[in-house]
Structure 1
Amino acid sequence: MGQLTRLFVISRIFFMGFLISGMAVAQTSPIEPPSPVSVVADAAPGDYVGQAIQAALAPLSSAFPPLLTSPRHQRVDVNRAVLDFYSHRGYRAAWTDDDDVVQLLKSLSDTGVDGLDPEDFRISELVTARNSMQTTEPTPGQRAAFDISATQTFITALLQLRRGKVDPSRLDIHWNFDPVGIDPREDVNLFFTALDSHDVARAFAQAPPQEAIYGTLRQGLAQLRRVRDSGGWPKIPAGQTLRPGMDDASVAQLRARLVAGGYLTAKMNARSDYDDTVTAAVKKYQAEQYLGADGVAGPATLAALNVPVEARIDQVRVNMERARWLLYKLQGTFVIVDIAGYKVSFYRDGKLIWRSRVQVGKPYRSTPIFQSEITYVTFNPTWTVPPTILVKDMLPKIRNNPGYLNANRIRVIDREGNVLDPLTVDWDNPRGLTLRQDAGSDNSLGQVVIRFPNDYAIYLHDTPHRELFAQSNRATSSGCIRVENPLQLVELLFNDPVRWNSEGIQKQLANGKTENIRLPVKVPVLLAYWTVDLSLDGRVTFKPDVYGYDKPVLRALNLPSERPTLDGRRAAPPSMAVGQNKL
């Protein structure tokens, strides 16, 4: 096969793969429908490459209706963006400057630092096609195929960096983090402006989240890969407990592992004694890993230390993907609950000003991930027992102890609102009953509830079970979020130092009345899930994946990007396709 024939085959296969591909999976955006495609002009006479581009894109023109019918939750497709791009420029080729192509190939290769796979963008095929075009004069059709393919790749990679590859709404039915007010078409326009300005590298530099936390995750990923490439970190023999005062070969391996993780300096490596320095390092590691920080390297601590570095690399990649989903939300004044980290934080003007420990749902009653707005606070709340808790938790206690309800000040209420004597109820077949606990210090919701609209009956609240805050694993609730210092959060939410200072809040509680007080300004609340933390010295640390959410994200992140056919049906990704990437 001659050079020209080979180039033609490569270009046509490469182009057709992109022609029927969309963008890498990202989140749905609630945007207004795009305007009808407005063709500025046909390709100019004599512009044979432009004419070939116009002819190649003609099937896409009929694939998109002149106006999408639903005004919200439309996904802007890369094909649509590419069609608009070329039609508005009279189908002129965009990649005529080889320096732009060089920038594109370099930037695609660099997506690995963001935890993405450059080969998911079929960089090898782009390189092959470019090299062939440099050695053999291509036809206009071949130039057109390369140009469209490069544009598809350009926008696909940038949108994955900007919004993420994986569509979180496909993994979690509760997901509602729509980027209200952020039109993805604005991103696309910025990308194409950079291309017209021959500043492709800048577009790639500005596409990922610009927040410091994302940069630290990048650095942590690079460091872990260096550890992997040097052979990984030392493994400590399992099935034992290493304690302060020991002098053993296993302690030497423990030291080496702590050095590799940045908990001991390298000069501490060549010893085998478990001294105070090792004890302090183990305590630090345990605290960051959400283990009991006792300084003893028992089975749980050794198991965490022996997690392969490859698994930790994947854990960082998963959380970088979550960062691409969510970091745009972390602006202004907001409350964020870190479910896997068992903590709640309050930010004002983008700055952290308060943090407290929380208890979240048990794994089989997991706290959902979603966003809402805090609208009001309930002081001295009563507690209406949810049906699930009634059936699974409370009925067995009532049957075993007829005095349980009275002892806990829980009333039995029928459909008409009448209060019943618990001793007159058939607890083997209770129907139409509501159980409600009176307000008071022993109420399951404590003194205060912080409420926000949602479909899951989830809220932030006080609790009488304060002893559980001392546990490292605080997945102990039935789904709601118990806050260790809720009154401090209430004061911050009202942001009224005259009426709702600490003294004013205590006065409100002292009257004993159950009362709902609306906030003067709604405050966004985000319930998020992160399985990494950042230490004060900038090191990436790891949390247990308490709900097992990392695996499906990683699985989706590692899959070749899907692609749809033009009629919307799913097809398996061919070897040359960049994949589906919806925004």
Structure 2
Amino acid sequence: MKHLYFVLFLLLVLSCQKKANDDSAVLIKTKPIPKIQVEANAIEFDSALVVLYENQRLLEFYRATGFKTVWQSASNRKVILNAIKESDKEGLFPENYQLKSLTSFEKKHPVLKEKELVTYDLLLTLNTQLFLTHLKTGKLNAKEIYSNWDIEINPFDVNTVLAEAFTKKEMAFVVNECKPNAFVYNQLKVALQQIEEYPDVDFTPIAFTEKIVANDTNVKVIAVKKRLKYWKDFNSSDSLTAIYDEKTVAAVKRFQERHGLAPDGVLGVGTIEALNFSKANRKKQIIANLERWRWFQIIPDTDYVIINIPDYKLTVVENQDTTITQKVVVGTVKRRTPVLTSYLRTVVLNPTWTIPPTILKEDVVPAMKRNRNYLSNKNILIYDSNNNVVAPENWNPAKPHNYRYVQEPGPNNTLGEMKILFPNHHSIYLHDTNHRNLFGLHNRSLSSGCIRVEKPLELAGYFLNHSEKWSKGKIDSVVGTRKTHYVKIEKKYNIYIWYWTAWSQKGELHFRKDIYDYDLALYDKLRS
């Protein structure tokens, strides 16, 4: 009984301490796991030793072992130590898992005393739990970092997984199973290996003053050629002159394609900005993307829509084949398109547009105060709480939120001729636009958060083609009525609005501009 009281006292004291711990799951209640069959030469130890680690997950694990050691097998230890040692290939950091201490214990393993073996066992389990959890679900909690991201991380019970590894003697298999298996994640690991092959060079920034076009002579072209040679886009053995010749233009176009820039061969501000990125920063970008893909998890279905925000691209995948690719316009830095997962629910033809609160506050109210006919010029009606239309001259600027502002269907409607709804907490959707010229721009971070699609009726027709009632002719006919029509999407399509700025494709590194400045900030959090 004295021993029991001592353990309870320790639990009480330790639970009140504010000591930091690398494990985000500290003191979170976990479900008990089945009893783990330990080897005959396992060492039994006092449960109070586990309590001192202040880690509920560790306590639950060793409770299942009967408070006996589990790492007697040299092969199991070798698998985990090697995996932790090579965790940098996954964009993780070996030092986060006390690799130096673990390696030191392992070297002395044959001569370790019983007490030291127990300490090593606890330390190895603790860091294995942490490593496998980071590998499976990411090191950081996306919801704590981004308030406008809706990511559902699949529950991961590391103790059950680890218990299975010991029971079935499949430690290597379990480690591999914890690694994300998404194609882009694996290509990012290739990109991480590729970036390491580049020499460590400090880039002197190339200043942008004016555009440089084919056949120009400019001293900056020499620096551009050196940078292109570094990134293997330019392999000419010609002397590095200041002439922006044909070979250099071709190399710049290759570089621009890899960076999602308009491949026009013009040395403009966007191309110079991309050329100024160093190896170190590109590596950080790749590591940040690997972490995000651990959050995104594996896409579980065969039919889905995926939107990569910084690439301004929508892709429809059907039976694991790409069937549609369209350009999109996404939110500005101030009104960012959120990262989320949902499913397509409804196509709305000839939609009305109700002005959302942010646009009302920041755009409409100031404009109405300047010009009372601002809304009527845009075919937007003002409704009071009784659903009565309010004349612009009777609108009360002191109480703008007492009204509803609705733009009627028509050619000038902000949402164009179509929108596609999917459940989310941010009131965003896919939609057409009355500004078709935007799709000809390279930088398409221009919306208020919703996503404008390049070919809206083609997209709507694709999702409705599972219903015989909705042929192209029928869709065109309904659009021609200028009356709002709601159509349920019968087939299940998940939609993934995600954010990634780096990958490897056919052996080449590809990068996109980090339009919301997520990458380096995320990398710093990973390192802290």
Q: TM-score range by the shorter chain?
A: 0.7 to 0.9
In the TM superposition, what is the alpha-carbon distance from 1:514 to its structure 2 partner? 0.8
Moved more, 276-285 or 462-471: 276-285
State the Cα distance separating 1:355 from its structure 2 match: 1.7
CA, structure 1 residues 160+493, in 2 after alignment: closer, same or farther (shift >3 Å)?
Answer: same
Residues 280, 501 of structure 1: CA spacing in aligned structure 2 closer, same or farther, 3 A cutoff? farther
Counterpart for residue 81 of structure 2: 105
1:526 matched to which residue of 2? 496
CA separation in 2, counterparts of 1:195 and 1:51? 17
In structure 2, which of residues 271, 289, 292 is the aligned counterpart of residue 319 of structure 1? 289
Is 1:147–2:127 an aligned residue pair? no
Per-residue CA deviations over 1:206-253 (Å, capped at 9, x if unaligned) read 3221233222211211221221xx233764642455432145664343
Q: Which stretch of the first structure deviates more once superposed, 195-204 or 434-443?
A: 195-204
| Structure 2 runs not aligned, ≥5 long | 1-13
Distance 2:355 2:222 in 1: 54
- Is 1:555 aligned to residue 520 of structure 2? no
What are the equivalent positions in structure 2 for 1:204-283 lying under 5 Å apart?
A: 204-227=175-198, 230-232=199-201, 235=204, 237-241=206-210, 242-246=212-216, 250-264=220-234, 266-268=235-237, 270-272=239-241, 273-283=243-253
- Which residue number corresponds to residue 395 of structure 2? 425
- The amino acid that maps onto 2:276 is N
Question: In the aligned structure 2, how far is the partner of 1:474 from the partner of 1:87?
Answer: 55
Q: Give the corresponding residue for 1:370.
A: 340
Q: Which residue of 2 aligns with 1:184?
A: 156
Identity fraction in percent: 27
CA contact (8 A) 2:184 2:503 kept: no
* Residues 283/338 of structure 1: CA separation in 2 closer, same or farther (3 Å cut): same
CA change 1:289–1:57 in 2 (3 A) is: same
Selected match of 1:114 from 74, 90, 99? 90
In the alignment, does 2:329 pair up with 1:359?
Answer: yes
- How far apart in 2 are the matches of 1:333 and 1:22? 41
Selected match of 2:45 from 52, 60, 65: 52
The aligned counterpart of 1:411 is 381
Deviation at 1:497, TM superposition (A): 5.9
Q: Cα–Cα, structure 1 residues 426 and 164, in superposed 2: closer, same or farther, change >3 Å?
A: closer
SS at match of 2:466: coil
Cα distance, 1:480 vs. partner?
1.1
User: 1:548-574 CA distances to partner (integer Å, 9 max, x unpaired)?
Assistant: 222332122111xxxxxxxxxxxxxxx
Once the 2 structures are TM-superposed, how far is the Cα of residue 40 of structure 1 from its aligned partner? 7.2
SS at match of 2:152: coil
Distance in 1, matches of 2:81 and 2:387, equals: 70
Could you tell me how far 1:456 is from its partner in structure 2? 1.9
Rounded to whole Å, the distance in 2 between the matches of 1:413 and 1:239 is 50
Whole-Å Cα distance in 1 between the matches of residues 205 and 517 of structure 2? 25
| 1:123 aligns with one of 91, 99, 104 | 99
TM-aligned CA deviation for residue 509 of structure 1 = 1.8
Residue-by-residue CA offset, 1:410-430 (whole Å, 9 max, x unaligned): 212222111132234355765
TM-superposed deviation, 1:118: 0.5
The one-letter amino acid of 2:246's match is: D
- Larger RCO, structures 1/2 (Cα 8 Å, 6+ apart): 1
The alignment of Structure 1 onto Structure 2 pairs a total of residues equal to 507
Inter-partner Cα distance in structure 2 for 1:237 and 1:470: 27
Report the Cα offset of residue 381 of structure 1. 0.8
**Residues 1:203 and 2:196 are matched in the alignment:** no
Mean CA deviation greater in 505-514 or 440-449: 505-514
* TM-score (normalised: structure 1): 0.79
Partner of 1:489, secondary structure, is: helix
Q: Does residue 165 of structure 1 match 2:139? A: yes
Change (3 A) 1:495 1:143: farther
2:4 aligned residue: none
1:489 Cα deviation (Å)?
2.2
User: 1:282-301 to 2 correspondence within 5 Å?
Assistant: 282-301=252-271
* Paired amino acid for 1:206: E
Distance 1:212 1:426, change over 3 A: closer
Asked if the contact 2:61–2:159 (Cα under 8 Å) also holds between the matched residues in 1, the reply is no
Query: 2:108 matched to which residue of 1?
Result: 132
- Mapped contact 2:129–2:159 kept (Cα < 8 A): yes
Q: Is the 8 A contact 2:467 2:490 kept in 1?
A: no
Secondary structure class of the residue paired with 2:351: coil
Q: Aligned-pair distance for 1:198?
A: 4.6
Question: Does the Cα contact within 8 Å between 1:238 and 1:299 map onto a contact in 2?
Answer: no
Pick closer, same or farther for the CA change 1:132–1:433 going to 2, 3 Å: same
SS at match of 2:493: strand
Q: Root-mean-square deviation (CA), in Å?
A: 3.1
Distance in 2, matches of 1:544 and 1:255, equals 21
In the TM superposition, 1:379-398 aligns within 5 A as 379-398=349-368
Corresponding residue SS for 1:520: coil
Is the alpha carbon distance of 1:324 and 1:495 closer, same or farther for their aligned partners in structure 2, counting shifts above 3 Å?
A: farther
Q: Secondary structure at the match of 2:81?
A: helix
Give the aligned partner of residue 540 of structure 1: 509
**Local SS of the residue matching 2:86:** helix
Q: What's 1:500 paired with?
A: 470
Equivalents in 1 of 2:508, 2:297: separation in Å?
A: 19
Of residues 359-368 and 489-498 in structure 1, the stretch that sits farther from structure 2 once superposed is: 489-498
Shift of 1:58: 6.0
SS at match of 1:295: coil
Unaligned segments of structure 1, at least 5 residues:
1-15, 64-78, 560-583
User: Partners of 1:159 and 1:429 in 2: how far apart?
Assistant: 51
User: Cα 1:167–1:143, aligned 2, differ >3 Å: closer, same or farther?
Assistant: same
